[in-house]
């Protein structure tokens, strides 16, 4: 049995519907707030260290791992509902990479006056003026695969070529 199946103790086919978000409430370790974006990122990095013995360093290069990790679980056949909390924390890790490497900050749509989509309550505001939702991006990467690469997402919004 693969690592992924052992980890979650069950196996289901992926639902490749149009909505990449889970259809159930998430069971999060921390309150959903900008102050905890970093803590969710640490939770993901700790999960990876404990289960795969890989040290994530919050570098742009580490986003390649996040891309491959989410795609691997999707390819294993798990549904977004099976894996929602891990996908969420992977999105927070992506956001924290953006924050640390670009002087961005975690915020809420309400705090900066942008329309709320209802998808997630915490987003990243970059100093170049972009406001991004790395959490939804992680769910899209998991659900839709190719064409939703996190590394490309990072590059587009930070200007990295």
Range 31-158: architecture per CATH: Up-down Bundle (1.20)
Contacts of 84 (CB under 8 A, 6+ apart): 22, 24, 26
DSSP state at residue 133: -
* Cβ contact 32:85 at 8 Å: no
What's the length of the chain?
A: 161
pLDDT of residue 29: 92
Kind plus residue range of the DSSP H or E element containing 76: helix 62-76
Distance of CA 121 to the CA centre of its chain: 13
Q: What is the pLDDT along the chain (161 residues), one digit of tens a residue?
A: 343 333 333 333 334 457 788 888 889 899 999 999 999 999 999 999 999 999 999 999 999 999 999 999 888 888 899 889 999 999 999 999 999 999 999 999 888 887 776 667 899 999 999 999 999 999 999 999 889 999 999 999 998 64
């Amino acid at each position: 049995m693969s690592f992924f199946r052992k980890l979650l103790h069950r196996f289901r086919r992926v639902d490749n519907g149009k909505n990449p978000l889970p259809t159930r409430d998430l069971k999060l370790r921390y309150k959903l707030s900008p102050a905890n974006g970093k803590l969710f990122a640490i939770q993901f990095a700790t999960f990876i260290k404990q289960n795969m013995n890989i040290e994530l360093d919050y570098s742009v290069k580490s986003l390649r791992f996040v891309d491959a990790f989410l795609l691997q679980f999707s390819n294993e056949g798990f549904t977004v509902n099976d894996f929602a909390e891990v996908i969420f924390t992977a999105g927070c890790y992506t956001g924290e990479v953006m924050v640390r490497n670009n002087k961005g900050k975690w915020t809420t749509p309400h705090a900066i006056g942008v329309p709320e989509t209802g998808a997630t309550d915490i987003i990243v505001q970059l100093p170049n003026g972009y406001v991004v939702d790395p959490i939804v991006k992680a769910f899209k990467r998991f659900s839709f695969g190719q064409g939703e690469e996190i590394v490309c997402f990072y590059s587009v919004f930070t200007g990295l070529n």
